[in-house]
Amino acid sequence: MLKQRRMVAEQIAGALFEAESAIDAAIAKTATLTGVMPSLRAQAGASALIGQDAVERASQAIMALAEARRAIVETHKELSVAQGQIGLGAIKMVGDPGGEKPDPNGVVHGRQLREVVAA
């Protein structure tokens, strides 16, 4: 049963890390879009009035993504609590800490995850 719970936790961790990464990528890409619009407008010699609504909407999208990031961070915290509630310690990567996240099967570039039991 412990092995099954650990496998489930690793799959959830993989999905969580993918969601966190996707939100971060969306923020970065939306920020790039927001930043490039005024400079390209200026290069085209267009009035500052042109595209203002688009810049505002893109800025609103960044704020919405920031809220989504806050929610996924809170999800991460809640899952950490749930992990302890089911009798699992922190899941740590085996090997050098390169910041890589596991896939849903618990594999990080050939390394497996292992459970670290809280003392």
Question: Stretch 55-79: mean pLDDT, rounded?
Answer: 98
- pLDDT bucket at 1, cuts 50 / 70 / 90: confident
Contact 111, 93 (CB under 8 A): yes
Q: What is the pLDDT of residue 87?
A: 87
Kindly tell me if the per-residue pLDDT of 74 is higher than 60: yes
How many domains would you assign to the chain? 1
Containing domain of residue 82, as a range?
Answer: 2-89
Q: Is residue 116 part of a domain?
A: no
Looking at every residue in the chain, the average pLDDT score rounds to 83
Kindly tell me if the per-residue pLDDT of 15 is higher than 80: yes
Question: Stretch 10-18: mean pLDDT, rounded?
Answer: 95
Q: Is residue 114 part of a domain?
A: no
Q: Is residue 22 part of a domain?
A: yes
* Residues 43/46/47/51 CA torsion (nearest 10 deg): -90
Q: Is residue 118 part of a domain?
A: no
Kindly tell me if the per-residue pLDDT of 68 is higher than 80: yes
Q: Is residue 100 part of a domain?
A: no
pTM for this structure? 0.71
Is the dihedral angle over the CA atoms 87, 89, 95, 101 positive or is it negative? positive
Kindly tell me if the per-residue pLDDT of 76 is higher than 70: yes
- pLDDT bucket at 101, cuts 50 / 70 / 90: low
